Structure 1
Amino acid sequence: MYPAHPAWSRRRRGLLTAATALLLLVCYALADRTGAAAQGAVPPAPGPAPATAAAAGDPPPDSFWGDTGAIPPAQNVLTVQILNRTNGQYPDDQVFWSFGGQTRSIAEQPYLDMPANSAGRMYFHLGSPDSQYSDFIEFTVGSDAFHGNTTRVDAFALKLAMRVHGHDGADKQVGEDYATFQEPREATWQAFADAMPPEFASLAEVQAPYRIPSPGSVPDFRPGGQHAAYMSDYARSVGMDASTQEIFGCSGPLAGDAPGCAALNRHVAELPRDQWNDPSRFYRQGPANYYAAFWHERAIGNLAYGFPYDDVAEQSSFVSVQNPQWMVVAVGW
């Protein structure tokens, strides 16, 4: 996964304790699946079952996105369709979206005619409208343009991917890759735990089974935490003065220094500046933001928002489409 750094090789596998792993399995089986518990087997999600395994970073095939030719034309700027891609874990009447004061299941309303000047977040919930299994995308819609992204800046909660199509044929996809959508949630969670160095071990545990928070959001990396110096010592070695939490959050003295904050998170700040934007050099040694690195590995085209300034060197999941026609958002488990 990532190059070795001190003490990592001794804990590459099994960072979750047996007790934690058991707790996760119990939580997955019991939490927030009212339909599955009450009704027995849940009908499979729409769309064909995957025929072959996909490689990391691969986009979904066209069949994953359904019949896009059937998406109704927008009366406003673009039509948004929400897809259930939970691999049969939740039926359509338990997959909810919320935007603009509306909350609907996709069984009730799978489409939204998005007007101009819409901005903010669209939230998605599994199980119930107020379920803790919840995540979001961000966007701004102009009179003739769409700008938006998936994000892991705060946390991972649900697998999300979005595809935006323009009237001129422009077509862009971002979010979790096809291989990640294919595997069970438990497998994704364990893969994250296995990939993390010891300092990041608590991320897979502290908000399980609902979220994997970003490192700047947990006590371990805050001032006074056991890993408070994890990034700050490296920053000082390259002439930058910021706390570990500020580095992960690109805040404080780094709020106005996008290149510097990105270089620290990717561990390239010690290199000449003309090498800071070379993705082949990112995350090759620690300390680094290995949380962000993991979601890049699991993203379509390896593009993800793992920290606030991840758009430096065009590595984020931001898309911009002029004269948009439709957008499809896939919600996974």
Structure 2
Amino acid sequence: MLTVKVLNRTNGAYPDSKVFWTFNRQTHSIADRPYLDMPANSAGRMYFHLGSASSKYSDFIEFTVGPDQFNGNTTRVDAFVLKIAMRLHAADGFDQEVGESRRVFAESRATTFARFKAAVPTEFDHLSQAQDRILSPGGDPEFKPGGRYANYFAAYTSVATSSEILGCAGPLSGKPDECAQLNRHVTAAQANNRAAYYQAAPANFYAKFWHDNAIEARAYGFPYDDVNAQSTYVSHKNPQYLLVAVGF
């Protein structure tokens, strides 16, 4: 059993009574129940909501809790809605944080959205949906055939369409190394060189933004972002507790 505590890091935007979690068909505010015991052999997602349990402001973490091990991650593969970070502590002293950085948690929501639009090229700035969410380009219609940016990667490679590259789908499904190289715009020789990632267009600049704004620059910006240990995946034996910070 793993003890999980949810932390309100909304900078006063929401009281504890308006910060909710959902797991195993149960929903509670953290004013009512800030802790929960996650039993062994649990797997799936734990959701977090601000305002109400049916709010548009809802995000999640993914996890597997084995008999003596936790495996899990935060993710931006589908979208960004809420600022999420988590810290896993284990019996042997292991302690690791992943997710959005403290700087991101400290700033206003408006600032985060404005910085995204300023950081990405024109092809990506429409992914910012007012201040509700920032969509992943992997499922965005504008990068699919017939969309404005369907040929975004066309001059770079003919291996797959732009949508297939951003979503690691079609001919890139089951080819993590190749898909990661295309999203990061690197050669096979540069595949393990983090400093070379996202240095030229075309690249997945949505993913770059989340890496630039994450603890230790680790983020899950596209499906195979775990190549070369770049994702927020964290795993350890004999976990004692998991803290999950939820921000606005």
- TM-score normalised by the shorter chain: which range applies? over 0.9
Match of 2:196 among 270, 275, 281: 281
Quote the offset at 1:208 in angstroms. Answer: 2.6
1:148 aligns with 2:72: yes
Task: Please state which structure has a larger fraction of its residues in strand.
Answer: 2
SS at match of 1:200: helix
Which of 95, 112, 117 is 1:193 aligned to?
117
Structure 1 unmatched runs, 5+: 1-76
Cα shift at 1:217:
2.2
- Render the CA deviation track for 1:133-175: whole Å, top value 9, x for unaligned: 0100000000000000000000000000000000111001000
RMSD of Structure 2 on Structure 1 (CA): 0.8
8 Å contact 2:116–2:125 — kept in the other structure?
no
Pair 1:89-2:13 in alignment: yes
Q: In 2, Cα distance between the equivalents of 1:172 and 1:330? A: 13
Aligned length: 248
The Cα of 1:277 is off from its aligned counterpart by 1.6
In structure 1, the partner of 2:97 is 173
Q: For 2:207 and 2:28, locate their aligned partners in 1 and report how far apart those are by CA, in whole Å.
A: 31
Report the 3-state secondary structure (helix = DSSP H, G, I; strand = E; otherwise coil) of the residue aligned with 2:228: helix
1:217 to 128, 139, 153: 139
Matched residue, 2:162: 244
Pick from 223, 226, 236: which aligns with 1:308? 223
Match of 1:226 in 2: 148
> For the pair shown, which has the larger CA radius of gyration, 1 or 2?
1
AA aligned to 1:203 is L
**Which residue does the alignment assign to 2:237?**
322
Task: State the 1:196 CA deviation.
Answer: 1.1
Measure the CA separation in 2 of the matches of 1:177 and 1:102. Answer: 29
Q: Distance in 2 between matches of 1:244 and 1:165?
A: 39
Which of 189, 202, 210 is the matching residue for 1:295?
Answer: 210
SS at match of 1:287: coil
Name the structure 2 match of 1:6: none
> Identity of paired residues, percent?
60
Residue of structure 2 in register with 1:118 after alignment: 42
Give me the TM-score of the superposition, normalised by structure 1. Answer: 0.73
- Counterpart of 1:308, as a letter, is P
Paired position in structure 1 for 2:178: 260
Consecutive unaligned residues in structure 2, runs of 5 or more: none
- Residue type of the partner of 1:292? A
Quote the offset at 1:294 in angstroms: 0.3
